[in-house]
């Protein structure tokens, strides 16, 4: 079993925390450099600075006894060395690959800190994909980048879905009057933070498209109601728990777990929305039984809750990337969701990826 598949043992807690702190400083610097190079890809100073930053991360990983990360970072550094030497240009696809590499490195460190195995991150495969680019010509390198992005995200780049679903507006023709009320509650939640802007319609569209690509197993009206209300229960909790992304205490996490019951309770008290209530109540359950509030297993979780779980995780990553000023957050958010595949029902990941692919296609 490789070290990325097993749970990694931290040899020195202080050194590990030093590396984690340093990485949190390197990440925004890399963001800014990549953003600048998208505008001026031939800027030698910024290319050299980006190369040095990855080189420093590699050195820190070795110094802090995280040697298993060194080949991964070295593979990214080598690509930048080729750019610095003028062998290949700095392209938008290469920029996406480097940002995804940085994201994956941060996910690895977070999972090590939480004493979680890293098999879902597929670091050896990612490393091999990067290493395979070290001798490619510029056109072949772009193709390889595109393939690697597709493998990491499940959606690829600049793809058109052959069986594109219809627009959301045509999926639900006549919505019950209750849905207008539910939507207003969702919009009230959206107003609580600039980071939530647009989430109501964005999440609804993604959920409905996912359902459509999966064959329409879930009633669309019930899914609409559940999507509108699944997080509304948070408004009954102190805002410090859910606005701003602060680290939660054990008591805070316990309070956060209560939000599903608040929203589900509202739906349970309104005739005709029983299925939506079940979706809301179960959307933080996980197939392996480690979710909340009832630790249900995969077969006990209703399909609509599995859709919401994917969309909710995706939105959480979008908010994280948005708060850090990161670029191409849609592509990078779906990469993180696909890197946490054990948290979701695998049967729903592919239709979710197809829905994301359609949303990406609409942006290009």
Q: What is the model's pLDDT at position 7?
A: 58
pLDDT tens per residue across span 39-76? 999 999 999 999 999 999 999 999 988 998 999 999 99
Residue among 198, 189, 187, 211 nearest 262 (CA): 189
pLDDT tens per residue across span 192-242? 877 788 889 989 999 999 999 999 999 999 999 999 999 998 888 777 666
Domains and CATH numbers, the chain: 13-153 (1.20.120.160), 168-363 (1.10.3210.10)
> What one-character-per-residue DSSP string does 29-46 give?
HHHHHHHHHHH-TT-HHH
- Tell me the helices (H) and strands (E) count for the chain, helix number first: 16, 0
Q: What is the model's pLDDT at position 359?
A: 78
Q: What is the model's pLDDT at position 3?
A: 45
Q: What is the model's pLDDT at position 185?
A: 93
Give the integer Cα–Cα distance in Å for 164 and 215. 12
Model-level pTM greater than 0.85? no
Q: Is the peptide bond before 293 cis (omega within 30 degrees of 0)?
A: yes
User: Which stretches of the chain score pLDDT less than 50?
Assistant: 1-6, 158-162, 171-174, 327
| Angle at alpha carbon of residue 131, lines to 127 and 134, rounded to 5° | 155
Give the integer Cα–Cα distance in Å for 352 and 280. 18
């Amino acid at each position: 079993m490789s070290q990325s598949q097993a749970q990694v043992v931290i040899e020195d807690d202080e050194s590990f925390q030093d590396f984690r702190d340093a990485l949190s400083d390197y990440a925004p610097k890399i963001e800014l450099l990549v953003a600048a190079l998208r505008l001026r890809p031939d800027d030698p100073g910024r290319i050299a600075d980006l190369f040095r930053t990855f080189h420093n991360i590699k050195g820190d990983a070795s110094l802090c006894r995280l040697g298993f990360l060194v080949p991964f970072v070295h593979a990214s550094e080598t690509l930048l060395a080729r750019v610095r030497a003028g062998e290949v240009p700095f392209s938008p696809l290469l920029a996406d690959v480097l940002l995804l590499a940085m994201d994956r490195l941060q996910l690895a460190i977070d999972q090590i800190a939480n004493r979680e195995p890293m098999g879902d991150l597929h670091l050896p495969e990612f490393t091999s994909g990067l290493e395979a680019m070290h001798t490619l010509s510029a056109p072949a390198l772009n193709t390889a980048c595109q393939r690697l992005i597709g493998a990491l995200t499940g959606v690829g780049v600049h793809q058109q879905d052959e069986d594109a679903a219809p627009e959301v507006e045509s999926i639900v023709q006549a919505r019950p009057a209750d849905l207008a009320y539910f939507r207003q509650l969702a919009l009230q939640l959206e107003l609580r933070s600039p980071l939530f802007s647009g989430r109501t319609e964005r999440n609804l569209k993604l959920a409905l498209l996912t359902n459509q690509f999966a064959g329409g197993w879930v009633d669309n009206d019930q899914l609409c109601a559940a999507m509108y209300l699944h997080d509304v229960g948070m408004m009954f909790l102190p805002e410090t728990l859910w606005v701003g992304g602060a680290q939660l205490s054990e008591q805070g996490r316990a309070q956060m777990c209560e939000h599903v019951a608040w929203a589900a309770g509202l739906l349970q008290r309104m005739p005709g929305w029983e299925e939506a209530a079940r979706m809301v109540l179960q959307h933080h359950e996980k197939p392996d039984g480690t979710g909340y509030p009832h630790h249900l297993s995969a077969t006990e979780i209703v399909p609509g809750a599995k859709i919401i779980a994917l969309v909710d995780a995706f939105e959480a990553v979008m908010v994280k990337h948005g708060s850090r000023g990161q670029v191409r957050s849609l592509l990078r958010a779906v990469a993180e969701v696909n890197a946490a595949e054990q948290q979701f029902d695998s049967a729903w990941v592919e239709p979710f990826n197809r829905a994301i692919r359609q949303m990406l296609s609409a942006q290009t």
